[in-house]
Amino acid sequence: MTDPSLDDLLGSVRVVSIPLRVRFRGVTEREVALVEGPAGWGEFGPFLEYGPAESARWLSAAVEAAWHGWPAALRDTVPVNATVPAVAPDAVPGVLARFPGCTTAKVKVAERGQSPDDDVDRVAAVRDAMGSHARIRVDANGGWDVATATAVLRRLAAHDLEYAEQPCSTVEELRDLRIALARRRIDVPVAADESIRKAEDPMRVRDLDAADLIVIKAAPLGGVRRALEIVAECGLPAVVSSALDTSVGMAAGVALAAALPRLDHACGLGTVALLDGDVTTASLVPVDGQLPVRRVAADPDLLDRHAAPPDRVRWWLDRLTAAWELA
C-alpha cells in the first residue's frame, strides 16, 4: 500500500489534549495528533520540545500504523511494568494500584529540583510496596553525570535493581559509567534509551560497549519495522517501552513487543493508566500484568470530548507539515 499524501494526512487529523493523573515529564496534559488511514488509526505525538527531524520519525510510525499495518505477532499478550513518576514515597502505593498484577516497576529518578535522597526514598517505597520478588528498574533520562550516577546507583543497588535506564546523557558517559560500576563491583546493568531513539547512529551504543541492553520505542524510531531492524543490528537484549501514548499509540508498542523474536523483560507499555482519559472506550491497560495484542479504534465522542483548542490544532497541523517534509 502506498504512503498517503500530505492532504490525506491533514484531512484525517484529530488533535486531543488529555489530562494526566500526575505530573510526568514536566507536563500535566498530553497532546497528540491522531490520523486515520485504510489500516486503522495511528498516533503522531512527539513531545513538544522535539524538532522536525525527530518528529519525522514519529510521523513515519503513525503512517505505518494507519496505512501499512504491522508485522505478524509472535504472541497474544505482552507483560508490562508499572511506571512510578517522581512522586513522594507516600504516593507510591496509590500509583502502583493503577497497575494491578504487574511484578515489575520502572521508577523515575534524577528529576530536576529533587535530590538523590528523594530517589532512594522513592525506590525504597516501591520495594516495600511490591516485595522482594518484584523487579525494579530506574530511569534517569540522562540526568546524571558519571560520578553522580555511580554514587547514586551504589545506594540504589541495595534495592536490587533490574537495570538503570539512560543514567547519563551521552554514549561515552554510559561507557565510562559501566567501567566505573564494574571497578566498584556495583551490580547494576545499564540500559540505553535516548542514546538509541534520539541518536543519528544508534549502533554507537553497541560499538562502544556502552550498554547491557537497549530500550526501544516504536514511534521515536520510525515504526515497528524500523525498531525491529535496530534490535537485529544492535544484537543486545531489548526492552519495549512507550512514549506516554493514548491507547492508539500504545497499540504500536504492543505490536512491536509482540513481533520481537525474544521478549525477556516486562514492557513499559502500561502508561495509559497515567492518563485521566483516553480516545477509546476499550483502553489498553494491564490486566493481571499483561496487555492484549490488538488494534485500537478511536471513539468519535471521546475525540470530541478531548479535542484540543483551535490554536493548538493549528500548531499541530504546522508541526505535522514540517515533519512530513523530512519524513
Residue 274 and residue 270: Cα distance in Å, rounded? Answer: 8
Asked if 191 and 97 sit in the same domain, the reply is: yes
Structural domains in the chain (count) = 2
108 carries an active-site annotation: yes
Asked if 17 and 147 sit in the same domain, the reply is: no
Cell match 494491578: residue? Answer: 100
Residues 213-268: tens digit of each pLDDT: 999 999 999 999 999 999 999 999 999 999 889 999 999 999 999 999 999 999 99
pLDDT at 274: 85
Residue 268 and residue 68: Cα distance in Å, rounded? Answer: 24
Asked if 132 and 263 sit in the same domain, the reply is: yes
Asked if 110 and 167 sit in the same domain, the reply is: yes
Asked if 199 and 250 sit in the same domain, the reply is: yes
pLDDT at 1: 66
Query: Per the residue annotation, which of 57, 106, 137, 217 is the catalytic one?
Result: 217
Average pLDDT over residues 287-298: 96
What is the span of the domain harbouring residue 82? 77-298
Asked if 184 and 286 sit in the same domain, the reply is: yes
Residues 193-204: tens digit of each pLDDT: 999 887 778 899
Asked if 25 and 103 sit in the same domain, the reply is: no
Residues 110-135: tens digit of each pLDDT: 999 999 999 999 999 999 999 999 99
Q: Please state the residue numbers annotated as binding site for Mg(2+).
A: 139, 165, 193
HSE-up of 231 (CA within 13 Å, CB side)? 21
**Mean pLDDT estimate for the chain:** 96
Asked if 137 and 23 sit in the same domain, the reply is: no
| DSSP symbols for 193-238 | SHHHHT-S-TTHHHHTT--SEEEE-TTTTTSHHHHHHHHHHH-S-E
- The domain that holds 41 is classified in CATH as 3.30.390.10
Residue 35's pLDDT band, with cuts at 50, 70 and 90, is very high
Q: Please state the residue numbers annotated as binding site.
A: 139, 165, 193
pLDDT at 184: 98
Residue 167 and residue 149: Cα distance in Å, rounded? Answer: 6
Residue 27's pLDDT band, with cuts at 50, 70 and 90, is confident
User: In 146-175, which positions are buried (b, 16+ CB within 10 angstroms) versus exposed (e)?
Assistant: bebbbebbeebbebebbbbbbbbbbbebbb
Residue 321 has pLDDT above 90, yes or no: yes
Identify the three-state secondary structure at position 31.
strand
Asked if 94 and 199 sit in the same domain, the reply is: yes
Residues 148-196: tens digit of each pLDDT: 999 999 999 999 999 999 999 999 999 999 999 999 999 999 999 999 8
| DSSP symbols for 261-281 | S---S-BB--GGGGBS--S-S
- The domain that holds 266 is classified in CATH as 3.20.20.120
pLDDT at 53: 94
Asked if 204 and 283 sit in the same domain, the reply is: yes
Asked if 293 and 317 sit in the same domain, the reply is: no
Average pLDDT over residues 78-99: 95
Please check whether residue 1 lies inside any domain of the structure: no
198 carries an active-site annotation: no
Query: Per the residue annotation, which of 108, 175, 197, 306 is the catalytic one?
Result: 108
pTM comes to 0.93
Please check whether residue 52 lies inside any domain of the structure: yes
pLDDT at 281: 96
Closest Cα partner for 108 from 164, 28, 150? 164
Identify the three-state secondary structure at position 292.
strand
